[in-house]
Amino acid sequence: MPTIVVETIAALRAALAGADSVALVPTLGALHDGHLALARRAKELADVVVVSIFVNPLQFGPNEDYARYPRDLEGDAARLETVGVDYIFAPGVDDMYPNGRVETRITAGDVGTRFEGASRPGHFDGVLTVVAKLFNIVGPTVVMFGQKDAQQVFLVKRMVHDLDFPLRIEVMPTVREPDGLALSSRNRFLDVNERRAALALSRALEAAESSADRGIDAVLAASQSVISGDDLVQLDYLKVVDPKTFLPVDDGFQGKATVIIAARVGNTRLIDNENIFLAGAAK
Ligand code: PAF
């Protein structure tokens, strides 16, 4: 069956009526191989796969790249067709927010104001609000997210738990270019020099991983030195958090931790993360 593009909430609900199990892959579009990996896995998990493509104005700040965010519905549809996705849900802003800016929103709490949320105030409230709407529109059994957006994954999982959404979140590993750069729809904004400089993020995470047995200070120092070696890269944050709370770990922390990083490369803001195992401070 060819992939069908559905543009209204009513039409999608009608199309999905009676489906036994539905997997949802929420996206902003401009799809890359990371999204296709989510869609492929979704096919294994449910009878019907819906990929939503909606550049959600609620999660972009006034000075962010909402207007220039890449939009390519035709190209996206062709890529999803190769994976056998059943439906693309591509609503207009008027369909999702018929009264203009919504008054009722989900708040992401304290963690939602840190890291990405500190640099992009209101971002996660906007993400959780649209994700909750998509859950209610699609009624999925399982929803796919990529680990690249680690803070988003943490907050969505917590919302699902706190608000009792009857669905499961499936998280897939970050897909990378052969040289290590994490796939992102924003990579297309990088020129040749910026593309080379952007490798600093994944290299900083590799340095963090190789220093993990020497404790958190060594982790931060090793990754910091990779980032500060490139003038084109302006670090926004580099932190080590406890994946259970998404709060920074302290000196004596031992166990699985997540190194999160965000940096501006030219005009493009990139994020990445890696799980490491902290053995505690070196004696
Ligand atoms: O990660 C994204 O692409 C977006 O934040 C999401 C989950 C589709 C919500 O707009």
pLDDT the model gives residue 282: 53
pTM of model > 0.85: yes
Q: Are residues 224 and 87 in the same domain?
A: no
**49: nearest Cα among 90, 91, 83:** 83
Please report whether residue 93 resides in a domain: yes
Catalytic residue positions? 35
Do 247 and 145 lie in one domain? The reply is: no
Residue 283 belongs to a domain: no
Q: What are phi and psi of 223, to 5 degrees?
A: -75, -40
**87 and 224 share a domain?**
no
The answer on 194 and 150 residing in a single domain is no
Q: For the domain that residue 247 is a member of, what is the CATH number?
A: 3.30.1300.10
Nearest-CA neighbor of 129 among 103, 111, 90, 100? 103
- Domain for residue 179, yes or no? no
Return the pLDDT at 279. Answer: 83
For residues 21 and 145, membership in a common domain is answered with: yes
How many folded domains does the chain comprise?
Answer: 2
Length of the chain: 283
pLDDT for the residue numbered 251: 85
Clarify whether residues 133 and 242 are in a common domain. Answer: no
Residue 89 lies in a domain: yes
Residue having the nearest C-alpha atom to atom 9 of ligand 1: 127
Which one of 24, 149, 159 would you pick to mutate in the ligand 1 pocket, going by the greatest count of ligand atoms within 8 A of its CB?
149
CATH number at residue 42: 3.40.50.620
Residue nearest to atom 6 of ligand 1 (CA): 27
Residue type, 239: K
* Residue at a domain's end among 142, 172, 202: 172
> Could you tell me if 201 and 137 lie in one domain?
no
In a shared domain, residues 168 and 233: no
Cα dihedral 116, 281, 254, 206, rounded to 10, equals 50
**Does 190 share its domain with 165?**
no
> What ligand 1 atom has the least distance to the C-alpha of 54?
10
Pair (58, 143) in one structural domain: yes
- Residue-by-residue DSSP string for the chain: ---EEE-SHHHHHHHHTT-S-EEEEEE-SS--HHHHHHHHHHHHH-SEEEEEE---GGGS-TTSSTTTS---HHHHHHHHHHHT--EEE---HHHH-TTSS-S-----TGGGGSTHHHHSTTHHHHHHHHHHHHHHHH--SEEEEETTSHHHHHHHHHHHHHTT-S-EEEEEPPPB-TTSPBP-GGGGG--HHHHHHTHHHHHHHHHHHHHGGG-HHHHHHHHHHHHHT-TTEEEEEEEEEETTTTEE--TT--EEEEEEEEEEETTEEEEEEEEEEE-----
Task: Out of 172, 197, 226, pick the residue that ends a domain.
Answer: 172
Interhelix angle 123-138/150-162, rounded to 10 degrees, is 60
Ligand 1 pocket, 134 CB below 6 A?
Answer: no
Whether 247 maps to a domain, the answer reads yes
CB-based contact 207:214 (threshold 8 Å): no
Domain boundary among 122, 141, 172: 172
Ligand 1: centre distance to CA 228 (Å): 30
Asked, for residue 265, whether it belongs to a domain, the answer is: yes
Q: Which domain holds residue 25?
A: 4-172
Query: Ligand 1 center to residue 225 CA distance, Å?
Result: 31
Is 177 domain-assigned?
A: no
**Taking a C-beta distance cutoff of 8 angstroms, is the pair 212, 276 a contact?**
yes
Distance (Å) of CA 65 to CA 35, 94, 201, 214, 268: 20, 20, 21, 39, 9
56 lines ligand 1 (CB under 6 A): yes
Would you say residue 178 lies in a domain?
Answer: no
Strands 233-242 and 48-53: unpaired
Same domain flag for 204 and 166: no
Query: φ and ψ at 141, to 5 degrees?
Result: -85, -35
- CA-nearest of 185, 202, 203, 206 to 268 is 185
Q: Are residues 111 and 247 in the same domain?
A: no
**Per-residue model confidence as pLDDT tens for the chain (283 residues):** 899 999 999 999 999 999 999 999 999 999 999 999 999 999 999 999 999 999 999 999 999 999 999 999 999 999 999 999 999 999 999 999 999 978 999 999 999 999 999 999 999 999 999 999 999 999 999 999 999 999 999 999 999 999 999 999 999 999 999 999 999 999 999 999 999 999 999 999 999 999 999 999 999 999 999 999 899 999 999 999 999 999 999 988 999 999 999 999 999 999 999 999 998 655 4
Give the model's pLDDT for residue 280: 65
